[in-house]
Amino acid sequence: MTFISSLIQAVQPEVVQWRRHIHENPCLSHKEQQTADYVESILGSMPAKLDIRRLTPSSVVADLRGGAGDGPTYALRADMDALPLQEESGEPFSSKLPGVMHACGHDAHTAILLGAIKVLCHVKDKICGTIRFIFQHAEEVIPSGAKQLVQLGVLDGVKMIFGLAVDVSNPPGTVLCKSGVLTSACNDFDIVIQGASGHASQPELCIDPIVIGAQVVMSLQTIVSRRIGALTTPVLSIATFQGGRGGYNVIPDTVHLRGTLRCLDSGVQKRVPVMVEEIVAGITSAHGAKHTVSWLEPNIVTYNNEAAYDVVKRVAEHVVSGITFVELPTAMTGVTDFGEYGAVIPGCLFLLGAGNETNNSVSNHNYSSRFRLNENVMVDGVRMFVGLMMTLAVPDAPSPGT
């Protein structure tokens, strides 16, 4: 066992402990100050000095300055926010906060990065340049924490950035990635249809927004099936349809629709909102109703830079033992704000398989209230992060091994 691999094995129990503490005490987006305080307290006890900053109350940035001379600055990022879900995982360390849980593994991302930092602190004197560690808030919402941190200068002087995302739908011991577009862009929208209320027995005296809204929902589906080419097909979904107050015989004044657009093509992302407006305007006008369509600030695609991707692939295949590298055949329609970093500097986000036979059920997936992570894979995340930094910042570095 090499010195590096022994350090990684030694930190593994702490990684589990850190993850479980964060899991028990989840924080929603833009409210992660408790998690950030916990992270900062751990960073303050690392075996090497870190330059720690709080660019926002809910995030932490730490720099490890190497002792082997000048060199580039590389960055590793972990997100920290939880989701508004009532936990039903049955874990003994389940969330203590009703209605909030870590169902996407951000607790693991944070603990993995802390573990990698502790290992890298032990080899500080071998590092050329600086390694920046970004503990990011608000990945799950728009506007995102990544965009805010970029605007605050978190990438100033950084040459390349890496991140990981655990995925319980893939087996342990796997790293999954692709170059180019990895995840889609996201545009969320609201549609309000203003009709005229009245008694359900006399609909001729009303302008029924329920009927109009139903037509809008069905007609919007033709954007995907009939107006966009098959090779750049987006996903357009209506997730909320609200109208009336629960009565049986009252036609309401308004209907509120809420939905999301997911695109892998930037041109399609620009065209679809125009089509949505045309369809909603046409249908509401035909019925004598009024409407508004409003779009939230979009998330951009996450694009993996080819050079950064090559480093991830090389580390997974040749530096870290026991890892199977899987080339993702297509991009994913899920969304992450890691693309905000990749829009500024070269970067790469990869998936870490985190399933197993006992937790790999239909009900166990990212964003499920029954989400259960295979904690044994967190050491693989530490090994990957350490391997990436040893490859880039340490000349003639030894392998992190097992």
Q: Which residues are annotated as part of the binding site?
A: 104, 106, 140, 365
DSSP state of 319: I
141-172 b/e (C-beta count within 10 Å ≥ 16 → b): ebbbbbbbbbeeebbeebbbbbbbbbbbebbb
- How many whole angstroms from its chain centre is CA 270? 22
What value, to the nearest 5°, has the Cα angle with vertex 113 and ends 168 and 169? 5
Q: Which residues are annotated as part of the binding site for Mn(2+)?
A: 104, 106, 140, 365
d(CA 356, CA 364): 11
**Contact predicate 302/178, CB 8 Å:** no
Catalytic sites, residue numbers: 81, 139
Three-state SS for 171-208 is CCCEEEECCEEEECEEEEEEEEEECECEECCCHHHCEC
Closest CA to 382 of 352, 355, 359: 352
Determine if the peptide bond prior to 143 is cis (ω within 30°): yes
